[in-house]
Structure 1
């Protein structure tokens, strides 16, 4: 008995094969896109990632010299990699402190933006931070934090040094500059720019505690850049 012939396989046109493959790939691509969309929705609606930390910021525009109250402080979530150096997480650490320079709304506030221990870090015991109003703000164009200045009183009521009439108005010698306004502030506008006149003429210097009241109450003053004092140990090490 001869074997039965096998039925011939149906052969489909090549175009039909191509359409079938494209259809399967479309369904796969659609499924991937739907999964991505669902993932984005979950990330959008889910809780914030643990990669942020709280940073205290100014709740409103604040001029220099403001005594910070709780209502003027806010807390924002910052990515860990963008947290400013010296940032503060608890508003209680800054409440009651005096702002050394103007701050814009949302600007992070650090220990160095307030008058106090932040500006006095590394200063000897007994040092204080004294805010001065300089008569001519143009004098401060070439003064930078870390420079040393003589503070000269412009009032005739300034105390005179007995026997030294040429020095009778010198209120402080070789005082370190702890803070000075940014020369570019107010030049280009923007969020962090202070209003005109808020910072102009302000200067913060370090001074011994016994000289702080005299400096603060001296009235209009000016400053003269001087070389930094040389410590006795440096003199001994010299040639």
Structure 2
């Protein structure tokens, strides 16, 4: 009986052996890679050494113009060097305020993230803010928010006849004088120059309509007066269509 000759064993490239071994152990390799990634993430997110400060952050997406509640906020520990400038440290500082822009979860909130109180905050119910343009902006040089003014209107350009449209009206806002310049396009703040002469006063709604009606007609000026005392003349109830003419 003759023996059958054995065929020589085929040799495969080393790279093929490696790919085959990796394919058979791909689950083990994937688990090892996943563990490495998790370890790196933990190290990256771990609090760094050094002092931290409390920073108020949003816990959910909030649209612009929405009121902020305590449930919308949380406090995170930020490294002192990475804390945003002006960031709030206590949720009570922002609760109840209105967002000036949209926020996303985890976004730090600063004082500029919410709008300031309105001009009518703390004013009597039913009072309206009226914007007037004073023909002589110099008359507003010493007027500040919180002062009281008499609003005087001259129907004609000559100004021989002047009507007192309001006495002792509270000043809610007054435009600041623009910075000095040479009058060029780049001199000073163009927005401040456009606001020059603007004055916002508080008035009852029906009286605010009449005050707004004089805009662009004749000449309007404001006279700084002492604050009206309790129960005394002045305030929004001092407006009257027949307030009479003021002397020259």
For the aligned pair, the TM-score class normalised by the smaller chain equals: 0.3 to 0.5
Give the structure with higher Rg (CA): 2
- TM-score of the superposition, structure 2-length normalised? 0.45
- TM-score of the superposition, structure 1-length normalised? 0.46
